[in-house]
Structure 1
Amino acid sequence: MFQANISQQQVIDYGRRKFSQDPVYLDTETTGLELNDEIVEIAIIDKNGLVLIDSLIKPKQPIPDSAIAIHHISNEMVKDSPTFIEIWPQIQEFILDRPVGMYNAEFDVRLMKQSMNIYNQSINQKNVAFDVMKMFSDYRGLIDSRRKAMRRFRLEEAGRYFGIPIPNSHRAVDDTKLTRAVFHSIIGEPY
């Protein structure tokens, strides 16, 4: 779907198909970006904006100061929170067999898998993640000449493009709401 010759209308049509399938939107905050990092917060909202999950998650490893500086989630804040494996059944309930919109889906899906792998578990379900970041990039249609691919935009940039008020929190629930608003703006739905 996501290539340089995609028209805005094709992106809108793709998004409308996803919208008709009753999507949810998901975002995470993590201990970092590496292959051994894990989730410390997750949020899921439905297409109407109802918060389904907004939970801190206790990781096995301490949250490094570099991550705390970004999302302001401290080790003290998560000490009594569920682990990822404990909250996974609740997450599954909302994402099973539904399209799941994420901004930079590749990252969030990878971190969910990593967080399960820490407990020697795997994610064995099929959910249909769709990447709102890639959709927005195709919608804008700007080429990054250095990468020779569609230009990628930060979530805040996408929100500003549509005039959406931007929260200043780097927290999962706010980023999930912003992802939903960007997706709805792409397809012409109120947010």
Structure 2
Amino acid sequence: MSRALVLDTETTGFDPATGDRVLEVAAVELVNLVPTGRFYHQLIDPEREVPEEAAKVHGFTWDMLRDKPKFAEIAPALLAFLGDDPVVAHNAPFDFAFLDFELKKAGHPVIDRARMVDTLVLAKKRFPGLPNSLDALCRRYGIDNSMRTAHNALLDVQLLAQVYLELMGGKQPDLALASAPRVAAPAAIELDAAPVARAPRPVVPSEAEIAAHTAFLGKLKDPVWATLLGGGEKPGG
């Protein structure tokens, strides 16, 4: 069994070194590249004002988050859900940098970068020179992202899980077969009685039918059907 977690964060800005904080984190569990239905999602009090430009991206303000738990309170549950398995994210260094900052601040070890899988890097290798944002990849793979009117970590990880499956080779052909009910092979059909012997009844054309056919072939250039006539001669020849 191969387990991985697809993760996304929303933040107050671009750089934790300048005081920006995580305000939402979500992760979905994959087993053998398929979502299991298990997920982790938490809104977080960022303990600071959310700049207007950031709020326009994800729709969250500090007033909406003041009553949510702080990152230090949710860190144990998040780490337990992530376990020791690979963590997949789009532009993963961004998310890992924020998680590093928050985990250190809360007194926890950071997530080993060896576990990091960056779908942006995978997409750039697959589609060099093309747009490789999450929206662009959804359009390229025909994944419905019409509900993505704002950045939302839980929705984004659900979309990214589908993108990651495609980047890793697409839907596995045996998935549908594995989940479909097995159908027994049909039993051999047994005859109720021995086959009835029938005398052949060849169809013999009349002289008039032969003459009409010959006249029709005479209108064609080198008809292959002429060889079926006696001697293989062309009609009228």
Q: TM-score range by the shorter chain?
A: 0.7 to 0.9
Among 30, 38, 53, which residue is 2:40 paired with? 53
Question: Which letter maps to 1:88?
Answer: A
Paired residues for 1:100-179 under 5 Å: 100-119=87-106, 121-126=107-112, 128-140=115-127, 142-143=128-129, 153-166=132-145, 167-179=148-160
Deviations 1:84-115 (A, max 9, x none): 11111111012121011101100000011122
- SS of the counterpart of 1:32? coil
Q: How many residues align?
A: 163
- SS of the counterpart of 1:23? strand
1:188 aligns with 2:170: yes
C-alpha distance in 1 between matches for 2:140 and 2:83: 31
C-alpha distance in 2 between matches for 1:123 and 1:67: 28
CA contact (8 A) 1:49 1:177 kept: no
Q: Which residue of 2 aligns with 1:97?
A: 84
Aligned residues: CA RMSD: 2.0
Among 86, 98, 101, which residue is 2:73 paired with? 86
List alignment gaps of at least 5 residues for structure 2: 173-237
Question: Which letter maps to 2:20?
Answer: D
CA contact (8 A) 1:43 1:51 kept: no
With CA pairs under 8 Å and 6+ residues apart, which has the higher RCO, 1 or 2? 1
Alignment identity in percent?
A: 26
List alignment gaps of at least 5 residues for structure 1: 1-19, 144-150
1:30 aligns with 2:11: yes
- SS of the counterpart of 1:189? coil
Distance 1:183 1:76, change over 3 A: same
Distance 1:49 1:136, change over 3 A: farther
C-alpha distance in 1 between matches for 2:63 and 2:29: 29
Q: Which residue of 1 aligns with 2:188?
A: none
Question: Which letter maps to 1:66?
Answer: E
1:43 aligns with 2:26: yes
Deviations 1:134-163 (A, max 9, x none): 1111111x24xxxxxxx6621111111101
Among 44, 59, 64, which residue is 1:72 paired with? 59
